[in-house]
Amino acid sequence: MLGKLCYASKYMAVKFFSETKKWSIDWMCRQLEISRAAYYKWLHREIPKCELKNIELAELIKEYNERFNHILGYRRMTSWINHFNHTNYSRKRVHRIMKKLGIHAMIRKKEQKIYIVYA
C-alpha cells in the first residue's frame, strides 16, 4: 500500500471481493481490465524490503502522532523518530508517508494581544 505499485488497489479489490463475497476472480479481472496471471503474481509476491521498512515507518508515525497529540509536522516528526529509535530516515520519506496516511500538523492560532489605549 505504501509502495509504488500500479494496480495494487485493483488487486486488493479482487482479493477482498473474492474472499468475502465469493465473486469470480476471472470475471472481476475482466471487468477491471487486468490479467489473471498478473493478479496471481501479485497475490503470491514477496513484499520488497523497502516496502516493509515503509510499513514499519508508517507504524512509528502513527504512534508518535498519537503520543504528541497531532502537533508534529514532518520535520519534527523526522527528528523525534530518528532521535528515539536511532534511525536515519530522511525528511522527504517521512513527509511522503505522512501524506499517504493523511497525517499533518495541527497549526495552533496565536493569541491576539489587544492593547487598549485610553486617550
The domain spans of the chain are: 8-43, 49-101
Question: Cell digits for 29?
Answer: 479481472
H or E stretch at 69: none
Q: What is the pLDDT of residue 101?
A: 94
Average pLDDT over every residue of 78-106 = 94
The rounded distance, in Å, linking the Cα atoms of 61 and 74 is: 9
Average pLDDT over every residue of 19-27 = 93
The rounded distance, in Å, linking the Cα atoms of 5 and 118 is: 66
pTM: 0.66
Average pLDDT over every residue of 9-31 = 93
Percent of the chain with pLDDT over 90: 71
The rounded distance, in Å, linking the Cα atoms of 19 and 83 is: 42
Q: What is the pLDDT of residue 1?
A: 55
Q: Among residues 81, 112, 82, 78, which one has the least CA distance to residue 92?
A: 78
Please determine, for residue 66, whether its predicted confidence score (pLDDT) is greater than 80. yes
Please determine, for residue 32, whether its predicted confidence score (pLDDT) is greater than 60. yes
Please determine, for residue 4, whether its predicted confidence score (pLDDT) is greater than 80. no
